[in-house]
Chains A and B, each alone.
Chain A
Amino acid sequence: MPPKKLGFVRTRINDVRSAMSATNRIAVVPDARLRHNDKEANMKTTKTSKQSSGKGRNRLEILVLSAPAIILFVGFVILPIILGAYYGLYQWKGFGSPSTNGKFVGLQNYIIALKDPNFQAAIGHPLLIMIGSLVIQGPLAVLFALLLNQKFKGRALIRTLIFVPYVVSEVIVGTGWSLLLQKTGAVNQILTSIGLPAVDWLANPKIAIWTLLLIISWKYIGFAVILMLAGLQSIPEELYEAARVDGAGFWQMQKNITLPLLAPTLRIWAFLSMIGSLQLFDLVYIVWGNYVSTTAGVSTMATYMVREGRGAGNYGYGSAVALIIFVISLIIALTYQKFVLNRDLDGALTDGKAKKKFGFKKFKNESSNTQVAASEAVLAASEGEEK
């Protein structure tokens, strides 16, 4: 292979290491062929010292390749957050621009929102739903996954059926359940026909939140089960065989092999479930609507934002609420990442430690990504052999 081409391969690997270390770390591990090329390339580049011009092109490539993603991210994530924070400082109706048609009120919107008992309730409900979904769905999903991991007739059918609610659109699920659970709906008609009293499933504030939890569990358990099943597939069969040889029973095996090895999957599922609960909107909006969700005690942060922001035409106030929601979600997500998820994501998302220790410049060279470090070690070893 011509040296120039090999130089490119080398620079590509550098790119991947420095720019992409935040993404999928598995992709970073160079395969055998690449490693081989890399090794040769390394020798060539040290000999011809083409590195400086390579670096410039390197940067250009990073710039060009990441530009679309960065533009989208800045344009549709970062900029809206900044603008939202800015709008939140105004009493503004959404007509014209806040500085000319609105009134600057400083942090007043944020203070009113945090003091509003309706908003406090709307923060509380998703937190309750978050805990409720973890407690209800987690154990159930593991049990279902264990069951569906066994071989029996009709397994594929049941696996499909349990996943169906997750695939159905939220609007359809919401409309369906709201019709079923009406005071004069099908569920109550069945109840009264067998002599049980009709229940106000939706409007009674003591019951409504449990109804919501039930619908959510019904809808999302399929997703949890599929995740757990995938997790179970990755546990090597040999471990069970070894345990069986040692005379372990079924539940002992589940407790000592399955659960510990399923833990990463559980942690990721819990994370997704938490984010989903915090952002809950469509189901509540369809089943209860903006107004009754408050009186029935199932309002969420998002329904409050829509009601008080868009519904009331207070775009300034709504933006302030949106920013508060963002901060709350961010704090919860980061806390979870730091204390629970960090062992799964070490080096991929949270590189804080290395940064603090070595400073950013040094960090660039002394990649803290263990996987990259490992492959670097392999490289060094093979290079040493060559020399």
Chain B
Amino acid sequence: MKVKSVLAAALAAAAVVGMSACGSSGATNDDSTITFWHNSTAGDGKAYWEQVAKDFEAANPGVKVEIQAIQNEDFAGKIQTAMQDPSTGPDVFMALGGEKTQEMIDAGQLMDLTDKISDTVKTDMKTALKAATYDNKVYGVPVSVEPGGLWYSKDLFTKAGIADTPSTWEDLLKDATTLKDAGIAPIALGAKDAWPAAHWYYWIALRECSNSVYEKSVQDKDFSDQCWVTAGEKLEELNKLNVFNDGYLTTTAQQGANSSAGLLANHKAAMELMGAWEPGVVKDLTEDGKAMADLGFFAFPSIAGGQGEKGALMGGVTYFSVNATAGDNAVKFVNFIGEQKNQEAYAKAFSTIPASEPARAVVTDPALKQVLEYLDKAPSMQLWMDTELGTNVGNALNSAVVNMLSGNGTPEDIVKAMQDAGAKG
């Protein structure tokens, strides 16, 4: 019996030790191994990162890059958990951006790269670097720039007899009505995910609010300016025309043929407001799995009487940050990612716009080239509003927009929701 109880005790102890051992599978301070987290779990993107890691290992003998590809939806939660103790977290990882990155900086988890990034990164990515700069300090190396705008089916526009893409808000409303009268669902909207619906509000606000008001409001989280209410009213005006696809409140953004991107891909809806990732997403949702032949792009229209900068864009910048406790090799690795040839390969693998300006020459997709044209002309590019505001206020804003679209709220409620959220976090 005694032997047994000793055995049992040993077993229990082993189980406890075993459980705690599971927690320490992250990075080590050992500089020769770099743990690297990204979010491309399949296809060309995954292959691209494997290739980059291999090239880096070849250029730096003795250094090993350990890759972990994590599903995008799980990424934020996992990185947050892993970085509870930075010494066990990954060395290089895709940054969450906006205020989440700010919070990680405040918690001392990110390395200040201001003096560590290479000159190539500094010059080639001058504009994109702004998104990774906080308080004049650089906390990441960008890889892609994804401005948003309206993606549309050229065939459906022609079918409804629309010759030119709309450049003003009035034109957009008129064209939407024309499409609807022709029996075509004008605008696909994945409101189940909230953010696609909220993007309409962001863009209208960007057109309505002057640059200084916009930046100050977002910075101070003070939305008392009238333009924030006007933006909601404009969106309600659009919603009242019934131009969103039937059942848009329960439509997802990217999952399957019934999602908003799927509706556009299969010519069930004429246009969608989305970021520059749209061609890649639509490609996976067409019937034959090939790129959508008649996919076109136009910038968000201007709004008469709006104070916003003409041609201003909004979008996302993907960048990679370095763990505050990581060694020199991790810094070398992010600089390596920023080199022109790697950026060119990135643009091809992800069919997107690379952060490095000289690398943009490799973009061949006609719709993406159009995006580039607008990007070159744009006086400024804001980050997605929810990213910039941080998850707390951003989440409240997104929910409030869905509330309004479903008829449960007013434009004033959107402003109120953003202000109320401040109390919860």
Contact with B along A295-308 (1 / 0, CB 8 A): 11000000000011
CB distance from B104 to the nearest CB of A (A): 6
Kindly state whether residue B423 has any CB partner on chain A within 8 Å. yes
Kindly state whether residue A61 has any CB partner on chain B within 8 Å. yes
Alpha-carbon distance between A200 and B8 when the two chains are bound, in angstroms: 59
Kindly state whether residue A311 has any CB partner on chain B within 8 Å. yes
Kindly state whether residue B194 has any CB partner on chain A within 8 Å. yes
Alpha-carbon distance between A92 and B107 when the two chains are bound, in angstroms: 11
State whether B250 touches A68 (Cβ < 8 A).
no
Q: Please pick, from A100, A203, A312, the residue contacting B250 in the complex, using a CB distance under 8 A.
A: A203
Kindly state whether residue A179 has any CB partner on chain B within 8 Å. yes
CB distance from B281 to the nearest CB of A (A): 18
Q: Which of B147-155, B292-300, B398-406 contacts A (4 or more CB under 8 A)?
A: B398-406
Kindly state whether residue A64 has any CB partner on chain B within 8 Å. yes
Residues of chain B within 8 A of A179, CB atoms compared: 258
Contact with B along A168-193 (1 / 0, CB 8 A): 00000000001100111100000000
Kindly state whether residue A313 has any CB partner on chain B within 8 Å. yes
Kindly state whether residue B209 has any CB partner on chain A within 8 Å. no
Query: Which secondary structure characterizes the binding site on chain A?
Result: helix
Residues of chain A within 8 A of B104, CB atoms compared: 95
Q: Please pick, from B109, B403, B424, the residue contacting A317 in the complex, using a CB distance under 8 A.
A: B424
State whether A95 touches B107 (Cβ < 8 A).
yes
Q: Please pick, from A96, A109, A202, A290, the residue contacting B424 in the complex, using a CB distance under 8 A.
A: A109
Kindly state whether residue A114 has any CB partner on chain B within 8 Å. no
Question: When A64-B9, A94-B80 are in contact, do A203 and B106 touch as well, CB less than 8 Å?
Answer: no
State whether B249 touches A292 (Cβ < 8 A).
yes
Of the four ranges (under 10, 10 to 19, 20 to 34, 35 or more), the interface on chain B belongs to 35 or more
CB distance from A28 to the nearest CB of B (A): 21
**8 A Cβ contacts from A85-112 to B:** 91-96, 100-101, 108-109, 112
Alpha-carbon distance between A60 and B247 when the two chains are bound, in angstroms: 64
Kindly state whether residue B408 has any CB partner on chain A within 8 Å. yes
CB distance from A350 to the nearest CB of B (A): 29
Q: Which residue of A lies closest to B408 (CB)?
A: A295
State whether B1 touches A96 (Cβ < 8 A).
no
**8 A Cβ contacts from B187-210 to A:** 191-194
CB distance from B147 to the nearest CB of A (A): 25
Kindly state whether residue B395 has any CB partner on chain A within 8 Å. yes
State whether A95 touches B425 (Cβ < 8 A).
no
Question: When A95-B83, A312-B424 are in contact, do A291 and B402 touch as well, CB less than 8 Å?
Answer: yes
Kindly state whether residue B43 has any CB partner on chain A within 8 Å. no
State whether A313 touches B1 (Cβ < 8 A).
no
**8 A Cβ contacts from B98-141 to A:** 100, 103-104, 106-109
Q: Please pick, from A100, A185, A203, A314, the residue contacting B406 in the complex, using a CB distance under 8 A.
A: A203
Residues of chain A within 8 A of B250, CB atoms compared: 178, 182-183, 202-203, 287-289, 292
State whether B108 touches A314 (Cβ < 8 A).
no
Q: Please pick, from A96, A178, A292, the residue contacting B402 in the complex, using a CB distance under 8 A.
A: A292
State whether B398 touches A291 (Cβ < 8 A).
yes
Mark B residues whose CB is within 8 Å of A: 1, 5, 8-9, 11-12, 15-16, 77, 80, 83-84, 100, 103-104, 106-109, 191-194, 246-247, 249-252, 258, 390-392, 395-396, 398-399, 402-403, 406, 408, 421, 423-425
Q: Sort A-B residue pairs by CB-CB distance and give the 6 closest, nearest first.
A: A183-B247, A313-B391, A96-B107, A314-B425, A295-B406, A312-B395
Mark A residues whose CB is within 8 Å of B: 8, 60-61, 64-65, 67-68, 71, 91-96, 100-101, 108-109, 112, 178-179, 182-185, 200, 202-203, 205, 287-292, 294-296, 307-308, 310-314, 316-317
Other contacts beyond A101-B103, A108-B423, A308-B424: 14, CB < 8 A: A61-B1, A68-B12, A96-B84, A109-B424, A182-B251, A202-B247, A203-B250, A290-B194, A291-B194, A291-B402, A292-B191, A294-B403, A312-B392, A316-B425
10 A/B residue pairs, CB under 8 Å, sorted by A: A67-B9, A71-B12, A93-B103, A95-B83, A95-B103, A291-B194, A291-B402, A312-B391, A313-B391, A313-B395
